[in-house]
């Protein structure tokens, strides 16, 4: 078998990685930094698995594949044991066959047990149809539980906040800022409808939006609560208009829809930023484990 | 710079970027910079809520609904909340909706309790894992003991002083869900909005933006978002921990990413300008 230069390079790197891992662990155990007990072996294994997982960032390799399968197997086995002790034994077997002294067996639990067994019949082609009974029960039950609660929490409560008084009581100066803010938004919508959208120059758009951003920042950092309320109302309405496709997006509708896009872009940007922070946090913690607990550099 | 060079930069092998991020994260870990952390209002709201519970010598239910994949972000905040509770004498009842999280919940609860000599049964208890999600929350609201007759060690909860007087979720002063997926929603939809207890949540950075609308409506009182939120909470309680240590590499990597974005945009627009010049030259 003749290896290409790229494959030879990858093989050398792989062997170097394995040698580095083995060598580092031998040094840590020999120097006493890691104790040769279950905890020390656990730290060594965790560090090895971490480095193997990250080796995928260079290229897929046999180490990564091994630990990936190991992870899936261990997770499945662990969850099975939790399900057995926390659910099957605690909620089914114990109440049925080993009830507390003075209590009768909880025979009513046989019904959900039966529904669960029927659900598993799905795997059979011949009698799989019987699982529809359990599915119907699950769909009906969860629809009844979820729909009214979701509507109350996600829609009614949110609507309640959206329709608060637009101009909150404050000093005449604060009221003036709020009115100016709303006026700037209305002026922008009219300008965009009549002139800006035809002009189609981003820098002119940005120039016209300057007073909007100036007032927004002033309102936020100046603690003017009404600015937030106006933003909520304008944002909700413009985003709803963007998703309303029963009317052609022309004129004022087009402008309002474009504002909705800006709000969506800001929210997606914020979500993306938070997501990046979350992913970096995972890297940071793993590195902290390797530095502090494995290599014990701090 | 020629367009060929720009094209090479734009098509740079991503592994070089990974390497730069790794070097930046490791290097920042060892740089001695005193970073100031400014807690957000939402984090302060959770802190104030626990302070209020402490004044009334109340009970907090901490639902640690995360698995090992979210442990880096969520365990520091769980630990910070528990340290706050135990330092103020607040009783804690722990539980989890996530089957992978039972051992994680046990570890963080016991290790935090040990720092303050809190006693199991008197100062804290761990109910363990139960399936059900939203239906479990409803069950706990209707009859707490029917949902959890025993704790994770199979002890009757009526024999635990910390939990013996709890018959429903309405008896809990503050419920906190530290969640990696939709469990916080289940607590809010099926718990807070039905039984009207005070509710706060700690979530991963990915989920945090989804929670903000519910803070504005008052459905969620207190939010800790990601590792940064955990660092802010550690600052509030005056006990810097893993989250605070992680802020230096986190911030360094963020700065690096901003530089990458700026550099990438600069190269992109420069390439666009060169391309237009080339096309104009060809047309002549």
Q: What is the mean pLDDT of residues A176-184?
A: 84
pLDDT of A243 strictly over 90:
yes
Q: Which residues of B touch A75 (CB under 8 A)?
A: 100
Domain ranges of chain B: 3-32+247-283, 41-240
Structure confidence at residue A168 (pLDDT): 67
Please tell me which of the candidates B18, B154, B219 has its beta carbon nearest to residue A153: B219
pLDDT averaged over chain A? 88
> ipTM value of the model?
0.86
Angstrom distance (rounded) from CA B177 to CA B224: 10
Q: Which residues pair with B223 in a beta bridge?
A: B201
Cβ separation of A281 and B242 shorter than 8 Å?
no
Q: Which residues of A touch B154 (CB under 8 A)?
A: 90
Where would I find the H helices in A121-224?
131-150, 157-162, 172-191, 197-199, 202-221
pLDDT of A132 strictly over 90:
yes
Helix axes B242-283, B3-10, angle to 10 degrees: 150
pLDDT of A84 strictly over 80:
yes
Please tell me which of the candidates B21, B128, B213 has its beta carbon nearest to residue A86: B128
pLDDT of A1 strictly over 70:
no
Of the candidates B162, B80, B156, the residue with the CA atom closest to the CA atom of residue B119: B162
Angstrom distance (rounded) from CA B134 to CA B158: 24
Q: Which residues pair with B61 in a beta bridge?
A: B93, B175
Q: Which residues pair with B179 in a beta bridge?
A: B65, B203
Q: What is the mean pLDDT of residues A269-278?
A: 92
pLDDT of A123 strictly over 90:
yes
Q: Give me the half-sphere count of Cα atoms (radius 13 Å) on the Cβ side of residue B122.
A: 4
And the tokens for A193?
A: 């409808």
Q: Where are the beta strands (DSSP E) in chain B?
A: 59-65, 91-96, 124-129, 174-179, 199-203, 223-225
The fraction of chain A above a pLDDT of 70, given in percent, is: 98
Cβ separation of A87 and B130 shorter than 8 Å?
yes
pLDDT of A169 strictly over 70:
no
The class that CATH gives domain B41-240 is alpha beta
Q: Which residues of B touch A76 (CB under 8 A)?
A: none
Count CB pairs under 8 A between chains A and B.
124
Does the beta carbon of B200 lie under 8 angstroms from any beta carbon of chain A?
Answer: no
Does the beta carbon of A154 lie under 8 angstroms from any beta carbon of chain B?
Answer: yes
Which residues 18-77 on chain B approach chain A with CB closer than 8 angstroms?
18, 21-22, 25-26, 29-30, 71-73
Angstrom distance (rounded) from CA A50 to CA B73: 17
Bin B51: left if φ > 0, else alpha if -120 < ψ < 50, else beta: alpha
Structure confidence at residue A183 (pLDDT): 86
pTM, two decimal places: 0.87
Angstrom distance (rounded) from CA B67 to CA B96: 10
pLDDT tens-place values along chain B, 284 residues long = 677 888 888 888 999 999 999 999 999 998 888 888 999 999 999 999 999 999 999 999 999 999 999 999 999 999 999 999 999 999 999 999 999 899 999 999 999 999 999 999 999 999 999 988 899 999 999 999 989 988 988 899 999 999 988 999 999 999 999 999 889 999 999 999 889 999 999 999 999 999 999 998 889 999 999 999 999 999 999 999 999 999 999 999 999 999 999 999 999 888 888 888 888 888 87
Q: What is the mean pLDDT of residues A79-89?
A: 90
Residue A58 DSSP class: T
Structure confidence at residue A258 (pLDDT): 86
Distances (CA, A) of A234 to A56, A189, A252, B37: 46, 11, 14, 33
Does the beta carbon of A286 lie under 8 angstroms from any beta carbon of chain B?
Answer: yes
Structure confidence at residue A181 (pLDDT): 85
């Amino acid at each position: 078998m003749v290896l290409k230069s790229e494959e030879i390079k990858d093989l050398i790197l792989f062997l170097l990685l394995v040698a580095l891992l083995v060598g580092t662990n031998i040094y840590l155990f020999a120097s006493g930094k890691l104790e040769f007990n279950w905890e020390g072996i656990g730290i060594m294994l965790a560090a090895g698995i971490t480095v193997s997982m990250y080796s995928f960032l260079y290229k897929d390799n046999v180490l990564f594949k091994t630990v990936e399968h190991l992870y899936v197997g261990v997770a499945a086995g662990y969850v099975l044991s939790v399900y057995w002790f926390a659910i099957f034994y605690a909620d089914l077997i114990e109440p049925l066959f080993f009830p507390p002294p003075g209590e009768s067996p909880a025979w009513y639990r046989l019904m959900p047990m039966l529904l669960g067994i029927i659900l598993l019949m799905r795997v059979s082609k011949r009698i799989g149809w019987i699982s529809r009974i359990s599915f119907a029960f699950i769909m009906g039950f969860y629809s009844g539980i979820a729909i009214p609660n979701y509507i109350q929490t996600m829609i009614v409560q949110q609507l309640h906040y959206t329709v608060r008084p637009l101009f909150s009581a404050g000093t005449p100066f604060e009221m003036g800022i709020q009115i100016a803010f709303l006026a700037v938004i209305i002026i922008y919508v009219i300008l965009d409808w009549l002139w800006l959208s035809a002009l189609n120059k981003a820098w002119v758009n940005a120039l016209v939006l300057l007073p909007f951003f100036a007032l927004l920042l002033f309102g936020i950092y100046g603690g003017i609560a009404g600015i937030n309320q106006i933003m909520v109302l304008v944002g909700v309405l413009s985003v709803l208009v963007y998703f309303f496709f029963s009317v052609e997006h022309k004129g004022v509708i087009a402008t309002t829809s474009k504002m909705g896009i800006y709000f969506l872009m800001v929210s997606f940007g914020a979500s993306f930023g938070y997501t990046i922070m979350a992913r970096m946090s995972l890297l940071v913690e793993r590195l902290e484990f390797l530095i502090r607990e494995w290599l014990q550099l701090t | 710079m020629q367009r060929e060079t720009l094209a090479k930069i734009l098509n740079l092998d991503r592994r070089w970027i990974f390497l730069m991020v790794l070097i930046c994260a490791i290097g920042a870990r060892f740089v001695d910079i005193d970073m100031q952390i400014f807690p957000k209002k939402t984090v302060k709201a959770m802190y104030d809520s626990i302070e209020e519970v402490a004044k009334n010598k109340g009970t907090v239910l901490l639902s640690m609904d995360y698995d090992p994949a979210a442990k880096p972000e969520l365990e520091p905040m769980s630990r910070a909340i528990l340290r706050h509770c135990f330092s103020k004498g607040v009783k804690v009842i722990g539980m989890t909706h996530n089957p992978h999280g039972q051992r994680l919940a046990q570890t963080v609860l016991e290790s935090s309790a040990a720092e303050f000599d809190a006693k199991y049964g008197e100062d804290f208890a761990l109910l363990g894992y139960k399936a059900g999600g939203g239906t479990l929350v409803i069950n706990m609201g209707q009859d707490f003991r029917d949902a959890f007759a025993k704790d994770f060690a199979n002890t009757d909860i009526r024999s635990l002083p910390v939990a013996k007087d709890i018959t429903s979720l309405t008896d809990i002063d503050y419920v906190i869900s530290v969640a990696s997926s939709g469990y916080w929603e289940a607590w809010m939809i099926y718990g807070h909005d039905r039984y009207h207890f005070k509710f706060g949540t700690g979530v991963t950075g990915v989920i945090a933006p989804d929670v903000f609308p519910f803070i504005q409506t008052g459905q969620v009182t207190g939010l800790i978002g990601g590792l940064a939120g955990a660092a802010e909470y550690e600052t509030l309680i005056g006990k810097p921990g893993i989250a605070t240590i992680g802020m230096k590499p986190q911030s360094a990597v963020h700065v690096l990413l901003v530089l990458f974005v700026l550099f990438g945009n600069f190269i992109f627009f420069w390439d666009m300008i060169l391309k237009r010049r080339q096309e104009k030259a060809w047309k002549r």
